[in-house]
Chain A
């Protein structure tokens, strides 16, 4: 079950995994995510599906080392199996022909963005993608994104690749240059927050895909709750995508810090056992 077919090291902390999961490969749509548990001791980790090959029965995931479980996930090799995997979860992205779509991806957020970019392109939109990261080696899936975009702008914090600057600088330039009908932003919460502020200024409908803390992923635990337009929503069943202009990002940022200390502790414990 859930055998790893292929891995690819994107950067020191980011790995692409192609996993055999035929049912999920068949059922998934852009925006969907899965929950996995690598072994008996692992955490349940939510990961958005970056792509699927229905014929081969595989899905593509991009994992980043942030805690013990994800660290161990990134160390898996082809042939290894993931103990548990369930999905597809969440609501699929609403993809339609709107005209021009601005797709902003930050860091590993580019992975879940990929199927959405593909979807919008196939639906007949003009798609402009902006990929942003701290530096060149953290820009991922550029070729794949290019395949489904009319234009790709690369932004790096240190200027080591593409243009120097934040994702918002690239986005604003596009907005000022041409009419943008819709925007999708996926990445770190801070990046989505500022992208949302920017597009709100120009009154462009914007979707953001949230990476909240989850336990079960099926609407049971409420760990992933987020305030959207004054209402409490559950990212796993009501999301993961929401109207970015309605999301209370400040609360989200605080909530994402919720288990940080515990994670750091667990991580250190893990590293000490590895020595």
Chain B
């Protein structure tokens, strides 16, 4: 791997590019700003993207900030090991389609990752600018998005090369990022790959979870089309273990399975009044709006539109929910989070966008009880003040209750976004499968192989919760692990 990177770096064009501009000049350039739709305007649309993307000129200038380091630490920060300097330098020299191709060497979903990855905790956190210069990192995420968007809009979408078919059939269960990354790698290796999806729509969390203002569906569809062109088959409305058993599928010729069935049961807090109407999980709220188009009157599925909407939680799901509420017309859209802003697990950019859109942040507060009108519809929530105590094992300070600090807030919709438990469908269909106390499938962390040799797993069903990119990393490792297993056992 190191050798390969070095070889690429020593290509003539890279050397030439490096010599064109002095490092001092590169580092003197400020980081590019992402053009955004005006907050007041964008909150009127559920399906218009906030970030507008870089133009050619800005993208090239930003790419020129990258110093093409001898030791590209940024790659270590990427769970799917994208060759970051290579794609960035391709942008700098104007070879945008080459940049896109570079992304696709290791990532099945570059346009998605460019939009939803927490770059500030990954590649950009490991950028030379961050580590050594204490300056704003190269905007790797923006550039990734730029390259992928450029390719898509150019109409000249490259389809990665696929090895000749090896005659073996494998199945991926679930069609979220882990499965898509897995399918992309396996199809390249010559396997026949079928992706089974329980819902009527392919894409998993990319479709039902992440709202269109952050990740438009048509962008996901293009990436899915690409996989279809490579030969991946998709079966919708199919629950493995139910619609057909694993045994049935084995009889149909599938020799190995990758389980990435994702998140399941939404978690609640178990506090009084939580089952009143108007209190729902972020999964339900986002699914109604994103998957079922509930915000559109043309569609049959309803969604509760609240005037005073409180969203409990501090992650991306909470931000997505609260910003959706604002777009559905909430006068007050509030985040209720029991720690401070600094501890929020959400992407920094999402918190920032939420603030611009007029989302209220009620930090260091936690709900303790809900109240309802005579029809059982929530109308008030009681919150309790928190203060931060000692750091816990994750290094974050633990929220501690301030006794006697309860106050009430008027609400008509509450979205609980405090996480999900792994989906129980697959483990319940396979009693011999080893699962943890919390219902996650136990796997070898290198090969992603489970206690059933022909069954591999990744994403939320293994980690409990995974970001899109972590899930994709799992999918790639599982593909490598399964390939090894199938070639060795032949």
Contacts and interface: CB of A to CB of B under 8 A. Distances in A.
Interface of A: 23-24, 27, 37, 41-44, 67-69, 72, 83-89, 215-216, 218-223, 225-227, 232, 234, 237, 251, 254-255, 257-259, 262-263, 265-266, 269-270
B304 A262 contact: yes
Contacts of A67: 300
Contacts of B244: 23, 27
A37 B301 CA distance: 11
A223 B416 CA distance: 12
A218 B243 CA distance: 12
Q: By CB atoms of chain B within 10 A, which of A86, A237, A263 has the most?
A: A86
Nearest to B266: A222
B423 A87 contact: no
Given A87-B243, A221-B266, A251-B275, 13 more contacts: A27-B242, A27-B244, A68-B300, A72-B300, A86-B200, A215-B301, A216-B199, A220-B264, A222-B266, A232-B270, A258-B377, A262-B304, A266-B297
Size band of the B side of the interface?
35 or more
Q: By CB atoms of chain A within 10 A, which of B236, B239, B278 has the most?
A: B239
B93 to A, nearest CB: 44
Contact of B280 (A222, A254, A257, A269): A222
A191 B264 CA distance: 31
A220 B375 contact: no
B345 interface: no
Question: Which 9 A/B pairs are nearest by Cβ-Cβ distance?
Answer: A254-B376, A262-B302, A221-B284, A84-B200, A258-B277, A222-B281, A222-B266, A86-B237, A43-B300
26 contacts: A27-B243, A41-B293, A41-B298, A67-B300, A85-B237, A86-B237, A86-B238, A87-B243, A89-B242, A215-B284, A218-B198, A219-B423, A219-B425, A220-B420, A221-B280, A222-B280, A222-B284, A223-B281, A237-B424, A251-B275, A254-B276, A254-B376, A255-B277, A257-B375, A265-B302, A270-B300
B249 to A, nearest CB: 11
A49 to B, nearest CB: 12
Interface string B275-306: 11110110110011000110001111111100
A237 B425 contact: yes
Interface of A, secondary structure class, is: mixed
Contacts of B199: 86, 216, 218
Interface of B: 198-200, 208, 236-239, 242-245, 263-266, 268, 270, 274-278, 280-281, 283-284, 287-288, 292-293, 297-304, 375-377, 420, 423-425, 428
A72 B304 CA distance: 22
A52 B238 CA distance: 18
Nearest to A231: B270
Contacts of B377: 258
Contact of A24 (B243, B276, B303): B243
B370 to A, nearest CB: 13
A236 to B, nearest CB: 10
Contact of B376 (A23, A37, A255): A255
A83 B200 contact: yes
A69 B265 contact: no
A43 B424 contact: no
B275 A86 contact: no
A250 to B, nearest CB: 9
A227 B271 CA distance: 13
Nearest to B372: A254
A44 B199 CA distance: 10
A89 B239 contact: yes
A263 B302 contact: yes
A221 B281 contact: yes
B277 A257 contact: yes
A215 B302 contact: no
Contacts of A259: 302, 304
Contacts of B275: 225-227, 232, 251, 255
A270 B281 CA distance: 28
Q: By CB atoms of chain A within 10 A, which of B237, B266, B270, B277 has the most?
A: B237
Nearest to B296: A41
A221 B268 CA distance: 11
B297 A269 contact: yes
A89 B299 CA distance: 24
Contacts of A23: 238, 243-244
